Structure 1
């Protein structure tokens, strides 16, 4: 793969990638799903397929910082129910990448994100009229298990083909009734495990190599201040605003993918 290095990127291009890396750190510790904007920036500055390989280690760095920050708030029953379905989604996504070109991938992911955002908003309005969401323990019901598997497959698929699994899983955790810290703790462990497991697949597809990792080494520096800003901001965002920001970030990311 003709990956790009530091010397092939203009100063403005590197600045854009640095801002996107900072936003990754912020999204991991504050508003999960906001890194769909980073996805679009990486794809605009770098070749579309190469951008997914460069972005993955940056996301893993953000995941590590998020786990260190919110490790006590993870809901492990939810995670164990999601992982098998996500693994299936990653395999399907790998096969899809072998077949699909950039345009098909972009349109597919954008459509899925907008659909999931619409379903989540509809579910939340229904829940408000019926007394609220059932909470994370609802994953033990039959409908809860089915929903977890459905979102898990979609999350695995979207994270493999475009590193866009964040919005899908964010919408699942919102629909399951997670509060802010439980949401962030559960998603932190989820994406650390999933993104690390994607590395062999991405390397096998030629999306990660020594040159892309050199660029990552320069960009990871900007993830840390973004995570610190997110940690500071999350305690100043109330629950309803937090949920609206997550859904808004998902919609923006979906529209970006469809219009790019």
Structure 2
């Protein structure tokens, strides 16, 4: 049994539920667990533990969307994303837990700002570039931020919106991209001792919470105004990210 304080158990379980919700119904909340877990666990341990939870949740999403991914877009992003993962790996080799917590906070705040810009771009019909350098840059950023903080969701959203995908293809392509990227991160995370036998035990114990979140995501999508819910979760994430900075 992993040795955690009661509040840490509660936060990890809540994070697992939120991850499940983000995979099936409300993607905007997916950035919150990165902050919550960094508040109650050592920074690198929180990143590795959350990665295991994300991989288990990805199994639900990838299975459900097994025919909905646009693979040409996934494949275009994977080389720069892998380069970003490698860059994140070398950065984490020289960053200790004390330094990583504010870095996670800063990454999340930048991702929230990108998400706000993305929302404004949709409302005002701002042109988003679609050239190869745009895909390469966002792919690298997705790999880097995913390796260091599991916080690449807003980057992927911006890219897929620029591609003007239908809703089902949008969700399916995102699901499979993160399924592949999260598995690519595993050997690097194990090399850094961010994923351990203890963290894997904890991940498996969170399976019921992930499944509950997946069911809640479907229900929330039907009954809760997504815009208001996203805004509330992003405000909570921003507040927690600021706390990590200081």
Q: Aligning the two structures, in what range does the TM-score lie when normalised by the shorter sequence? A: 0.7 to 0.9
Secondary structure in 2 matching 1:72: coil
Secondary structure in 1 matching 2:194: coil
Aligned to 1:111: 106
Aligned to 2:9: 14
Whether the aligned pair in 1 keeps the contact of 2:84 and 2:144 (CA below 8 Å) is yes
Secondary structure in 2 matching 1:53: helix
Q: CA deviation at 1:187?
A: 1.2
1:205 aligns with 2:192: yes
Q: 1:85-96 maps to which residues of 2 (within 5 A)?
A: 85-96=80-91
1:257 aligns with 2:212: no
1:224 aligns with 2:211: yes
Q: Give CA deviations for 1:94-123 in whole Å, capped at 9, x if unaligned.
A: 011011233543444443444454455446
The separation in 2 between residues aligned to 1:227 and 1:55, in whole angstroms, is: 16
Aligned to 1:78: 73
Q: CA deviation at 1:126?
A: 4.9
TM-score, structure 2 as length reference? 0.84
Q: CA deviation at 1:93?
A: 0.2
Secondary structure in 2 matching 1:208: coil
The separation in 2 between residues aligned to 1:253 and 1:128, in whole angstroms, is: 23
Q: Give CA deviations for 1:131-184 in whole Å, capped at 9, x if unaligned.
A: x768xxx84xx2xx2222111111101111122222332333345444433322
Secondary structure in 1 matching 2:67: helix
The separation in 2 between residues aligned to 1:61 and 1:92, in whole angstroms, is: 25
Aligned to 1:170: 157
Cα distance change, pair 117–84 in 1 and its aligned pair in 2 (3 A): same
TM-score, structure 1 as length reference? 0.80
The separation in 2 between residues aligned to 1:133 and 1:236, in whole angstroms, is: 32
Q: Which blocks of at least 5 consecutive residues in structure 2 are unaligned? A: none
Following TM superposition, the consecutive aligned residue runs of length 4 or more in structure 1 with deviations greater than 6 angstroms are none
Q: CA deviation at 1:216?
A: 1.5
The separation in 2 between residues aligned to 1:74 and 1:187, in whole angstroms, is: 8
Secondary structure in 2 matching 1:74: coil
Whether the aligned pair in 2 keeps the contact of 1:113 and 1:250 (CA below 8 Å) is no
The separation in 1 between residues aligned to 2:72 and 2:229, in whole angstroms, is: 26
The separation in 2 between residues aligned to 1:133 and 1:247, in whole angstroms, is: 23
Q: Which piece of structure 1 moves more, 99-108 or 10-19?
A: 99-108
Q: CA deviation at 1:198?
A: 0.8
Aligned to 1:182: 169
Q: CA deviation at 1:39?
A: 1.8
The separation in 2 between residues aligned to 1:248 and 1:153, in whole angstroms, is: 29
Give aligned pairs, total.
244
Q: Which blocks of at least 5 consecutive residues in structure 1 are unaligned? A: none
